Amino acid sequence: MNQNLLTVDELAASLSVPKSWVYSKSREKGLDAMPKIKVGKYCRFVLDDVLEWLKSQNETE
């Protein structure tokens, strides 16, 4: 399990999506929000958690 904390830039590169998509999804709130970890004013992401979230989003659509 990969527990490295990724920045927005690193996550966008890992997922092959624009940074704007990561920013947009990371601002959403609620039960279906993208998992993130707040470190002060910064958001960080665990790749395994985000991949699991993406999988669950595709199953509900």
Structure pTM? 0.85
Structure tokens at 54: 């993406």
Instruction: Look up the domain containing 12 and give its range.
Output: 5-60
Structure tokens at 57: 């989003």
Per-residue pLDDT tens digits for 4-51? 999 999 999 999 999 999 999 999 998 889 999 999 999 999 999 999
pLDDT of residue 59: 76
CA 26 – CA 7 distance, rounded (Å) = 11
Domain count, the chain: 1
Query: Residue holding tokens 């990724």?
Result: 6
